[in-house]
């Protein structure tokens, strides 16, 4: 039982990181329909923002999270407003544009912050471990799990229980009809993209103490995020959560029995197998006709 509980906690830890990385992408991809290949670079921007705030301003990670969310979200709003808005009816152009944005962001970071690895200090108050039924668990890992759960609940509440969420769902179902009722679809799309990119920046900042920060760090996260979103069902936030936690548990068990590389390979094969027989993902959001 001790071993089982230890693996469950390990899987929850991995799954919460996957959820953080995928939540913003799930909102953007599932509502606006934009395949944002620059999502990993927005995560990278959040990590570098955390490093810059500490290095140049002296602001530690936790107090800087709100600023990072707002800053990366504002940048995402500008990207949507001046570039992506013109490409919504051209999916291939959108993919190429977001890929180009990612490449540009990597080069900008190399020119400004350098290409060497950067490190973000773990909050001293969370550097210790606690014992949960005999299993040692990092306080910061628990913090990540709690934050991921809160962000999911906040996102679900915004989309499902607010006026803005009602407008967003109306635009997603039929933009023309929604516009005829006075809903500004452009503003809805801009706010949604800004919120999704803000979540990506927040994810990068929170993950940064666990990983070295580099211009290429977003590449692996965008692959993981797309796997989580596609497996869970593109338009299902609950599917994203279950997919992230399930992949976290499977990855944790296989990594314990073998190693991380084999775990990633087996997980990828499992995802491809599931999508082969259920291309819509494990969960499909029900939409009223």
Residue 18 in 3-state DSSP? helix
| Residue 271: inside a domain | yes
pLDDT of residue 256: 78
The CATH number of whichever domain residue 166 belongs to comes to 1.10.3470
How far apart CA 260 and CA 251 sit, in angstroms, is 8
Task: Please determine, for residue 289, whether its predicted confidence score (pLDDT) is greater than 50.
Answer: no
Decide if 260 contacts 250 (C-beta within 8 A): no
- How confident is the model over 100-144, as pLDDT tens digits? 999 999 999 999 999 999 999 998 888 888 888 777 888 999 999
> What is the distance of C-alpha 228 from the center of its chain?
10
Instruction: Tell me the mean pLDDT in the region 85-105.
Output: 90
- How confident is the model over 14-54, as pLDDT tens digits? 899 999 999 999 999 888 888 899 999 999 999 999 999 99
- How confident is the model over 149-161, as pLDDT tens digits? 999 999 999 999 9
pLDDT of residue 1: 64
pLDDT of residue 76: 96
| Residue 31: inside a domain | yes
| Residue 283: inside a domain | no
How far apart CA 235 and CA 285 sit, in angstroms, is 6
The sign of the torsion formed by the CA atoms of 159, 162, 167, 169 equals positive
pLDDT of residue 286: 56
How far apart CA 275 and CA 271 sit, in angstroms, is 6
Q: Is 115 left (phi over 0), alpha (psi -120 to 50) or beta?
A: alpha
Task: Please determine, for residue 287, whether its predicted confidence score (pLDDT) is greater than 60.
Answer: no
Task: Please determine, for residue 284, whether its predicted confidence score (pLDDT) is greater than 70.
Answer: no
pLDDT of residue 85: 87
Task: Please determine, for residue 3, whether its predicted confidence score (pLDDT) is greater than 80.
Answer: no
Looking at the structure of the chain, the number of domains it has is 1
| Residue 88: inside a domain | yes
| Residue 219: inside a domain | yes
Burial category of 146 from C-beta neighbours within 10 Å (exposed 0-12, middle 13-18, buried 19 and up): exposed
> Picking from 25-29, 186-190, 216-220, 257-261, which range would have the lowest pLDDT averaged per residue?
257-261
Confidence tier at 2 by pLDDT (50, 70, 90)? low
Instruction: Tell me the mean pLDDT in the region 263-281.
Output: 82
Range of the domain at 246: 2-277
- How confident is the model over 200-253, as pLDDT tens digits? 999 999 999 998 899 999 988 888 898 899 888 877 888 899 999 988 888 888
| Residue 168: inside a domain | yes
**pTM given for the model:** 0.92
pLDDT of residue 288: 47
How far apart CA 13 and CA 151 sit, in angstroms, is 15
Cα 273-274-275 angle, rounded to 5 deg: 95
> Picking from 12-21, 143-152, 161-170, 276-285, which range would have the lowest pLDDT averaged per residue?
276-285
| Residue 285: inside a domain | no
pLDDT of residue 11: 84
Task: Please determine, for residue 260, whether its predicted confidence score (pLDDT) is greater than 80.
Answer: no
| Residue 179: inside a domain | yes
């Amino acid at each position: 039982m001790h071993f089982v509980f230890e693996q469950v906690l390990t899987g929850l830890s991995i799954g919460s990181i996957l959820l953080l990385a995928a939540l913003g992408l799930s909102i953007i991809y599932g509502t606006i329909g934009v395949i944002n290949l620059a999502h990993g670079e927005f995560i990278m921007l959040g990590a570098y923002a955390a490093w810059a705030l500490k290095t140049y301003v002296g602001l530690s990670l936790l107090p800087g999270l709100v600023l990072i969310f707002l800053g990366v979200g504002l940048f995402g709003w500008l990207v949507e407003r001046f570039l992506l808005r013109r490409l919504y009816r051209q999916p291939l152009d959108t993919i190429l544009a977001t890929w180009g944005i990612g490449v540009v962001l990597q080069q900008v970071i190399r020119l400004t912050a350098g290409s060497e690895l950067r490190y973000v200090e773990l909050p001293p108050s969370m550097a210790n471990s606690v014992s949960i039924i005999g299993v040692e668990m990092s306080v910061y890992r628990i913090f990540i799990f709690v934050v991921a759960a809160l962000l999911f609940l906040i996102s679900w509440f915004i989309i499902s229980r607010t006026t803005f969420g009602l407008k967003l769902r109306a635009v997603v179902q039929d933009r023309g009809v929604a516009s005829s009722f006075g809903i500004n679809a452009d503003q809805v799309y801009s706010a949604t993209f800004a919120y999704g990119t803000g979540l990506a920046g927040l994810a990068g900042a929170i993950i940064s103490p666990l990983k070295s920060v580099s211009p290429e760090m977003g590449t692996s996260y965008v692959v993981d995020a797309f796997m989580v979103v596609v497996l869970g069902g593109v338009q299902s936030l609950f599917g994203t959560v279950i997919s992230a936690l399930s992949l976290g548990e499977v990855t944790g068990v296989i990594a314990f029995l073998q190693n991380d590389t084999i775990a990633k390979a087996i997980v990828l094969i499992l995802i491809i197998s599931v999508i082969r027989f259920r291309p819509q993902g494990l969960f499909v959001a029900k939409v009223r006709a």
